[in-house]
Amino acid sequence: MKNVFVDSSKAKQFLPNGAVESLKEKVLTAQQELEQGTCPGNDYLGWLHLPSEITPEFIAEIQATSDVLRQECDTIVVAGIGGSYLGARAVIEALGNSFAWLANKGENPNILFAGNNIGEDYLYELTEYLKGCRFGVINISKSGTTTETALAFRLLKKQCEEQRGKETARRVIVAVTDAVRGAARTTADKEGYKSFVIPDNVGGRFSVLTPVGLLPVACAGFDIAELVRGAQDMEKICATAPFEENPAHQYAAVRNALYQAGKKIEILANFQPKLHSMNEWWKQLYGESEGKDKLGIFPAAVDFTTDLHSMGQWIQDGERSIFETVVSVERPAHKLLFPHDEENLDGLNFLEGKRVDEVNKMAELGTCLAHVDGGVPNVRIVMPELNAYYLGQLIYFFELGCGISGRVLGVNPFNQPGVEAYKKNMFALLDKPGYEAESKAIRARLS
């Protein structure tokens, strides 16, 4: 059986001979540090063997909660930000029919996302839209104190109680949060909501295989057991495969070798629009894990062929500080042929009868060759199919690749001290009690 694998042959040609192999020791040491819990940030290594620790009983518990929400709701709003929503959104969009939400055919509830911005119009329009809906809420916040999520949850809780009554609201609001701390926990316990715990030792961006991701994905009607099985298999592969065949090792090594060779920006590309949010999840995983101590590859992302018509020029011909990592799906789920046209005004009848995916694949190969010719190293991550099993493999591969890569770079991949800076200023500007000194200082700066 095929697994997700990495092909870095078209990246290595940009590197001195043996550059990737020369990082083998560092990669193996990094993995050992993770395994032994001796690296910085070792309080947050719960994700490392999370897949193999997930039991069928735990999956059944999540499934049972999702059954309640699916029975009682036509719309489920997932309130969360960063690691508390990106993974769920990535999986749901990758597995879902791109247009089912428009048709609202009723088989699965619509999954909406909130709590990931402070846009007044967004929140207003959401609350207006929900007026016609039998909606429920999954409130996801590890800290339970995140402003964006707390704001959305206040609005949603109130509206849900008013529209559906307190008793029903209690059944259709579920919390995913810390075991004991934070407002989300306090509210869940006080109101008697069903709740799931985000383990202390799993940071937000590594939490997609906890109920943070699993519950919304199950609510959307997708097979979380398959997702977990894929992650479990990738956990085994990455724990045992030698460096030369280990996808996480190869990815961590090649991207560090490229970084050392001056490639400071990694562009994650897909040729399947359903993977757009997977790009977003990856950007957070790698950006928040590695961008610190004035180091780190800048993670950018594009959807091809769409963005070849906007970013293509820059990638082909701009500053040569980039490399490209393409997530390539081997087989699409559906079959569609390029149609015949009697008049052939566009001159495309030579493609008649070909699978649309064959055209896409040639666009992918042509793009890769053009970009390589233009001086852009290319790494391919190949997924046999876009299904729950292989998404599970991809997720764990990226997580382990990130942990190892961050350690090879020499940073603590599991903290995010830089994220606090904007919050401090925002609270000072909003005169939050306790921020009086910061408030005075920031106002003096602005006057």
Q: Do 86 and 203 touch, CB atoms closer than 8 A? A: no
- What distance lies between CA 357 and its chain's CA centroid? 25
Number of C-beta neighbours around residue 89 at 10 A: 24
User: Which residues are CB-contacts of 114 (< 8 A; sequence separation ≥ 6)?
Assistant: 77, 78, 79, 122, 123, 126, 152, 156
Compare residues 203 and 299 and give the one whose CB is closer to ligand PA5: 203
**How far is it, in rounded angstroms, from Cα 194 to Cα 151?**
20
User: Which residues are CB-contacts of 65 (< 8 A; sequence separation ≥ 6)?
Assistant: 174, 194, 196, 215, 218
Q: Does the annotation mark 334 as catalytic?
A: no
- What distance lies between CA 362 and its chain's CA centroid? 27
**How far is it, in rounded angstroms, from Cα 214 to Cα 197?**
12
Compare residues 246 and 289 and give the one whose CB is closer to ligand PA5: 289
Quote the Cα angle for 149-78-127, to 5°. 75
6 - beta bridge partners?
Answer: 381
Q: Does the annotation mark 309 as catalytic?
A: yes
State the nearest-atom distance from the C-beta of 384 to ligand PA5, in Å: 29
Q: Considering 131, 294, 309, 334, which one is annotated as catalytic?
A: 309
Compare residues 82 and 211 and give the one whose CB is closer to ligand PA5: 82
Q: Considering 2, 158, 354, 423, which one is annotated as catalytic?
A: 423
176 - beta bridge partners?
Answer: 140, 196
Q: Considering 235, 266, 288, 324, which one is annotated as catalytic?
A: 288
Compare residues 142 and 283 and give the one whose CB is closer to ligand PA5: 142
301 - beta bridge partners?
Answer: 268
Q: Do 258 and 11 touch, CB atoms closer than 8 A? A: yes
Compare residues 138 and 308 and give the one whose CB is closer to ligand PA5: 138
**How far is it, in rounded angstroms, from Cα 153 to Cα 161?**
12
Compare residues 293 and 330 and give the one whose CB is closer to ligand PA5: 293
Tell me the longest C-alpha to C-alpha distance in the chain: 74
Q: Do 106 and 143 touch, CB atoms closer than 8 A? A: no
Kindly report whether the peptide bond that precedes residue 305 is cis, defined as omega within 30 degrees of 0: yes
Q: Does the annotation mark 131 as catalytic?
A: no
Q: In the complex, which residues of this chain contact ligand PA5 (CB under 6 A)?
A: 81-84, 141-143, 146, 149, 203-205, 288, 416
Q: How many residues does the chain have?
A: 447
Compare residues 247 and 403 and give the one whose CB is closer to ligand PA5: 403
* Amino acid letter, 356: V
Give the catalytic positions in this structure.
288, 309, 423
